[in-house]
Structures are given as C-alpha cells and as structure tokens.
Amino acid sequence: MNLNKDVQITNKSSNSFIAQLKATDENEIVSIEITNDSKLQKIETYGDNFYECLLKIRAELEKRGLFILCLGSSINVWPSGMSSQMSKGLKAYKRKLCQ
C-alpha cells in the first residue's frame, strides 16, 4: 500500500509551507517519508504502524521548530489497540477529556 498526501508544515511564527508525505507498507514494514523541495530535508521513519511513524516524524519536526498540521498529529488523537492492528494505525480516534 502506498499513500501520498500534501501536508502543511508551520513554525512558531505561523510561517507555513506544503510538504509531501508518503506512507508505505511493504513486507510488514511500515514507513513514512516527508519531503519538501526547498525548506525541509527528507525525514524517513519506520515502525510497526503508521501512527507510530507519524509520532516519530512529529518529534523530529519539533526538534527543528516545525509542526505538522494534520488531525493525526493532535495531542488528543490516538488509535485503539484494535485499530492499530487492523488498519496499521491509519484509523484513530479524536478523544475528549471528561470532567
């Protein structure tokens, strides 16, 4: 399976640009690669599921003062155990704190 998406990347000053995210699932190895023509060096991660890879991408971007703007990188989005196994982390839930 291959999935290609354009994602918005921003910094703390709200300057943003579009980067290309490529998700691949081959031979039980899941990877996400994010690239941009001018502002971002290629970042590639591997893991058991796509969500795990996205977390690694997000952590690497944050080290550079950058943030990926997509629902999957929200702090209140998380895949269930079954979702991680069945969809390899492509499906997740947006959680709401109860008071």
Question: Is 0.85 surpassed by the pTM of this model?
Answer: no
Highest-scoring range by mean pLDDT, 2-11, 66-75, 83-92: 2-11
Q: pLDDT digits over 20-29, tens only?
A: 999 998 877 7
Residue percentage of the chain with pLDDT more than 70? 99
Per-position DSSP letters for 5-63, written without gaps between them? EEEEEEETT--EEEEEEEEEEETTEEEEEEE-SSS---EEEEESSHHHHHHHHHHHHHH
Q: pLDDT digits over 67-84, tens only?
A: 999 888 888 887 888 877
pLDDT band at 49 (very low <50, low <70, confident <90, very high): confident
Q: CA 14, CA 26: separation in Å to the nearest integer?
A: 36
